[in-house]
Structure 1
């Protein structure tokens, strides 16, 4: 079977992701946010994470890039850090009042962008797409985890 690599789901999803990122970045910039900030902001707002380690796990990024992003977010007045009373080696991270005030506008911008790019999709199609992508991400996580484990075992 001769598949056109440019027609594979992986390539098409990559193109879609880059398109979403460009659109979202352009629309979030005037609000003082970047696309990478959103998982952190949402996790902090919803109380799902409050340490760098938790945020890295939540956003599915490694610790060093998360540390860099948090440093920029702190510099830009989006978050603040305070010593963790339970663990003196780590910090509790919270949103600043300014970030909390601007976050609803950022979420609205992203939701509006999603609606615009899904123009012509029925609600059922949009829901199916989200469900399929959620399954795909779970499969990617599973395969990456298995690959990481296999690599680790070969190195031992």
Structure 2
């Protein structure tokens, strides 16, 4: 169905990418829930598996999400025994976020779940197609990233 402006949702790149993102999220959410982890917690875990002992604001910056969202998610993660908070010895006003043993132990199984979703989504694509698609996504993200500033 075409609108008066000629816009067709089925042919909109933004619509297609949004739909794909929601499908990825739904598939990953089901897999993460098996481990007691919410979808919103996964990106924070990814950052902390890369580097522990960073601030909430640094996590928000790396993920490009709002600090209040990170704060609320971190509170739930602390409640769930995934992260811990400790004062920054170099700056008493800051708090550093670290992983608990439970949070560290989830790295391998959760990464495996994410890889399984990625593999399922890319079934039927050649390695070259997957690499090209990823390069295109990075390019489009770069094109739009300066618009959010």
The TM-score, its normalising length taken from structure 2, stands at 0.91
Kept in 2: contact 1:43–1:49 (CA 8 A): no
Q: Which residue of 1 aligns with 2:114?
A: 110
Deviation readout 1:90-140 (Å, 9 max, x if unpaired) = 111101111111121000111011101111100011111111111111222
Does the alignment pair 1:127 with 2:135?
Answer: no
* Segments ≥4 residues shifted beyond 3 Å: none
Does the alignment pair 1:144 with 2:148?
Answer: yes
Query: Please, which runs of 5 or more residues in structure 1 have no aligned partner?
Result: 146-156
Does the alignment pair 1:57 with 2:61?
Answer: yes
Higher relative contact order (CA 8 A, sep 6+): 2
Kept in 1: contact 2:52–2:99 (CA 8 A): no
SS at match of 2:104: helix
Q: Which residue of 2 aligns with 1:33?
A: 37
Query: Please, which runs of 5 or more residues in structure 2 have no aligned partner?
Result: none
**Quick check: 11-20 or 128-137, which moved more?**
128-137
1:7–1:49 Cα change, 3 Å? farther
Does the alignment pair 1:90 with 2:94?
Answer: yes
Kept in 2: contact 1:49–1:58 (CA 8 A): no
SS at match of 1:32: coil
Deviation readout 1:2-61 (Å, 9 max, x if unpaired) = 341332110000000000000000010111222222221121121177100000011110
Kept in 2: contact 1:39–1:58 (CA 8 A): no
> How many residues align structurally?
145
Tell me which protein shows more helix as a share of its residues.
1
Residue from 43, 48, 68 that aligns with 2:47: 43
Over aligned residue pairs, what C-alpha RMSD do you find?
1.5
